[in-house]
Amino acid sequence: MLEFWLELAKGPIFRFSFALCVLGLARIVMLSAWGAAKAYYAAGDKELPYSLIWRTTIHWLFPIRMGLRNRPFFSIVSILFHIGLIIVPIFLFAHIQLWYQGAGLWWPAIPRHLAEFLTVTTILSAILLFLARVWSSASRHISRGQEFMWPLLLIIPFLSGFFCSHPAWSPLSYNAMLLIHILSGNFILLLIPLTKISHCILTPFSQFISELGWHFPKNSAKDVEITLGKQGQPI
């Protein structure tokens, strides 16, 4: 029975979630580009310092130096978290083997020890991030439900994956652990284009748009209000 579910999770369910993830992200990018283009053509005053906006956008896409100035602990943990989160699933040898068997695709893998180290750092930093979010009242107040959920949800595939590669320490049988690992991974893939994790592809867009906003001419908000005919109302 467990084998049947494993086959299902590895096959149809994975293909569904992966396709939904890739196509969903492509959809979001296209919609954003479409919206941006539409706004650009609708805008009246297009005199903006574009070169400056580009430069600051790219600058803020790698916020290491600026992040360290403000809440350094949180920033470092967050960066560590992201490194493991991105590298391990993509460059784990066992995952590449699956791609090779299923689709004939192949790319270099990271060594096993590095993968294990990154897995542990990811799990620990996810816990720390969750605690930091709960601890700081400022963070708590601007957080939605999914912000609390995500670090905890992301721990599941990493922890189960760790137990899969160390079956001796595993509290469950190998196949049961593997099923948890695959299903949770599929679930995360499924949620990526539907939740805030879509920032993995939308960050450049949102960064660019917010930079644009910072460089709007003076009193442009008033103009927008007048154009919309909504003076004194929420927009």
Partner 1 sequence: MDRVRRFKLLLWSICGLAFAVAFRRFLLGLGSSTNLNDGTPWGLWVGFDVMGGVALAAGGFVITATVYILKKEEFHPIVRPAVLTAFLGYAAVAVGLLADLGLPWHIWHPTIYWQHHSALFEVAWCVMLYLTVLALEFLPVPLESFPRLGKIRNFLVKNRLILVILGIMLSTLHQSSLGTLFLIMPYRLHALWYTPILPLLFFISAISLGLMMVSMESLITSYLYRREPETHLLTKLCKVAAWVLGGYLIVRILDLLVRGEYLAIFENSWQSWWFIIEILISAIIPIVLFTSKLTRGKLGWITLGVVSGVSGFVLNRLNVGGIAMAGTTDSFYFPAWTEFAISAGVVSGAALVFLFAIEHFNVWEHPPRDEEDEKPYTLPRFAPVGTIWLGDPHTAGMKRNSMAFVVAAAFGFSLLPFSSLESKGLIKTPANSARGKDIMQIDANRDGFFVTFDHKKHENSLGQTQSCAVCHHAKLPADEQTSCAACHQDVYLVTCIFDHEKHKTWLGGNQSCTQCHPAGQNRSVDTAVECNHCHNAEDASLVLAVQESPIRMDQLNMAGSYVDAMHGLCVTCHKEIAERIYRPLHGTCTTCHPFVAEESKYEWDKLTQTTASPRWVISTPLLQENIDVEKLKESVAAQ
Binding residues vs partner 1 (CB under 8 A): 11-13, 15-20, 23-24, 27, 30-31, 34-35, 38, 93-94, 97, 102-104, 109, 111-113, 144, 146, 165, 167-168, 170, 173-174, 193-196, 198, 228-230, 234-235
Closer CB to partner 1, 75 or 195, in the complex? 195
Is the distance from CB of 181 to CB of 9 less than 8 angstroms? no
Closer CB to partner 1, 38 or 59, in the complex? 38
Closer CB to partner 1, 66 or 228, in the complex? 228
Contacts of 33 (CB under 8 A, 6+ apart): 205
Could you tell me where the beta strands, DSSP code E, fall in 128-228? none
Q: Based on the number of CB atoms within 10 Å of its own CB, is 129 exposed (0-12), middle (13-18) or buried (19 or more)?
A: buried
Distance from C-alpha of 12 to C-alpha of 14, rounded to nearest angstrom: 6
User: Least separation, in Å, of the C-beta of 126 and partner 1?
Assistant: 20
Chain position carrying tokens 């959809």: 27
Distance from C-alpha of 65 to C-alpha of 214, rounded to nearest angstrom: 21
User: Least separation, in Å, of the C-beta of 186 and partner 1?
Assistant: 10
- The conformation of residue 44, written as its DSSP 8-state character, comes to S
User: Least separation, in Å, of the C-beta of 77 and partner 1?
Assistant: 24
User: Least separation, in Å, of the C-beta of 209 and partner 1?
Assistant: 11
Closer CB to partner 1, 28 or 155, in the complex? 28
Closer CB to partner 1, 3 or 47, in the complex? 3
- The helix/strand/coil state of 18 is helix
User: Least separation, in Å, of the C-beta of 112 and partner 1?
Assistant: 5
